[in-house]
Amino acid sequence: GENVEQHPSTLSVQEGDSAVIKCTYSDSASNYFPWYKQELGKRPQLIIDIRSNVGEKKDQRIAVTLNKTAKHFSLHITETQPEDSAVYFCASPNQAGTALIFGKGTTLSVSS
C-alpha cells in the first residue's frame, strides 16, 4: 500500500550544525515531494518541495534531494538556528494524486 516512512523521529543538534531528515516512499509513480514545518500549536507550512524531474533543489539554508531509483528523499538544513526547532514532515501524493501521505514527523531541536 501507499506509505511514507520518515526518520529519525527526533533529532537534536547544536546551533550552526547541519541536520538531515530522510524519507522513503512506496509508490514508484510518485512525482512530488513536499516538506512541511510545523511549530508547536501552528499549522503545517510548506518550506520546500521537489518534482521528480530534478534531483536537488535549494532555497537558502534548506535543500531537498531525491533519489527516484532508491525511492528516497531527504531534507538538509545547514547552519541551523534555534528558530529551526519544530516538527518536520515529509509527504508524497497518493496514487490518485488527490491527497498527501505524510510521514510521522521528525522533532528537530536546535540548542544554542
Closest CB 7 distance from another protein, rounded Å: 13
Nearer to another protein, 54 or 99 (CB): 99
Nearer to another protein, 34 or 108 (CB): 34
Distance (Å, rounded) from C-alpha 50 to C-alpha 35? 9
Distance (Å, rounded) from C-alpha 33 to C-alpha 64? 9
Closest CB 105 distance from another protein, rounded Å: 5
Distance (Å, rounded) from C-alpha 48 to C-alpha 71? 18
Closest CB 62 distance from another protein, rounded Å: 18
Question: Cell numbers of 24, please?
Answer: 522513503
Nearer to another protein, 67 or 95 (CB): 95
Closest CB 58 distance from another protein, rounded Å: 19
The DSSP H or E segment spanning 31 is none
Q: Which residues bind another protein (CB under 8 A)?
A: 6, 32, 34, 36, 42-46, 49, 89, 91, 93-94, 96-105
Q: Where are the alpha helices (DSSP H) in the chain?
A: none
Distance (Å, rounded) from C-alpha 69 to C-alpha 24? 11
